[in-house]
Amino acid sequence: MNIPESRGPISAGLFALLAGAPGADPAAVTALHALVAGRVSAVEDAIDDDVQLALFCLYELHYGGLAGVDDRWEWHPGLIAIRQQLEEPFEQWLRSETSEVTASMRRPDSGTPDSDATAALLFDLAGRDSGPSVSRHVAKKATAEQLREFLIHKSVYQLKEADPHTWAIPRLAGRAKAALVEIQADEYGGGRPDRMHSALFARTMRGLGLKDSYGGYVDAVPAISLASVNMMSLFGLNRRLRGAIAGHLAMYEMTSSRPNQLYGNGFRRLGFDADVTGYFDEHVEADAVHEQIAGRDLAGGLVEAEPALLDDVLFGAAAVSCIDARFATHLMDAWDNDRSSLRSPIPAAA
Task: Fill in the amino acid letter for 223.
Answer: A
Lowest mean pLDDT among 179-183, 226-230, 342-346: 342-346
Top-confidence residue, 103 or 47: 47
Domain for residue 223, yes or no?
A: yes
- Domain of residue 76, residue span: 9-96
Would you state the pLDDT for residue 288?
83
As a whole number of angstroms, the distance between CA 246 and CA 338 comes to 38
Domain identity same for 159 and 39 = no
Would you state the pLDDT for residue 109?
67
Asked which of 55, 72, 96 is the last residue of a domain, the reply is: 96
What proportion of the chain, given as a percentage, has pLDDT over 90?
91
Would you state the pLDDT for residue 241?
98
For the stretch 178-198, pLDDT in tens is: 999 999 999 999 999 999 999
Domain for residue 143, yes or no?
A: yes
Per-residue pLDDT for 112 more than 80? no
Would you state the pLDDT for residue 62?
98
CATH of the domain at 120: 1.20.910.10
Domain identity same for 87 and 122 = no
Domain identity same for 317 and 194 = yes
Domain identity same for 216 and 332 = yes
* Phi-psi group of 312: left, alpha or beta (phi > 0 → left; psi -120 to 50 → alpha; rest → beta): alpha
Closest CA to 223 of 320, 335, 98, 341: 341
The answer to whether 311 and 113 have CB atoms below 8 angstroms apart is no
Average pLDDT value for residue range 69-81: 97
Closest CA to 76 of 120, 125, 22: 22
Closest CA to 252 of 228, 219, 216: 228
Its pTM surpasses 0.75: yes
The answer to whether 276 and 267 have CB atoms below 8 angstroms apart is yes
Domain for residue 348, yes or no?
A: no
Would you state the pLDDT for residue 165?
98
Average pLDDT value for residue range 257-272: 96
Domain identity same for 92 and 119 = no
As a whole number of angstroms, the distance between CA 191 and CA 193 comes to 6
Closest CA to 250 of 328, 190, 172: 172
As a whole number of angstroms, the distance between CA 231 and CA 249 comes to 12
Closest CA to 303 of 261, 255, 242, 251: 242
Would you state the pLDDT for residue 337?
96
For the stretch 148-170, pLDDT in tens is: 999 999 999 999 999 999 999 99
Would you state the pLDDT for residue 286?
80
DSSP 189-240: GGG-GGGSHHHHHHHHHHHTT----TTTTGGGS-HHHHHHHHHHHHHHH-GG
Average pLDDT value for residue range 237-266: 96
Domain for residue 28, yes or no?
A: yes
Name the domain count of the chain: 2
Would you state the pLDDT for residue 78?
97
Would you state the pLDDT for residue 343?
96
Tally the C-alpha atoms within 13 A of residue 198's C-alpha that lie toward its C-beta: 17
Domain identity same for 26 and 172 = no
Question: Across all residues in the chain, what is the average pLDDT?
Answer: 95
For the stretch 113-161, pLDDT in tens is: 899 999 999 999 999 876 789 999 999 999 999 999 999 999 999 999 9
Per-residue pLDDT for 293 more than 70? yes
DSSP 294-339: IIIIIIHHHHHH-GGGHHHHHHHHHHHHHHHHHHHHHHHHHHHTT-
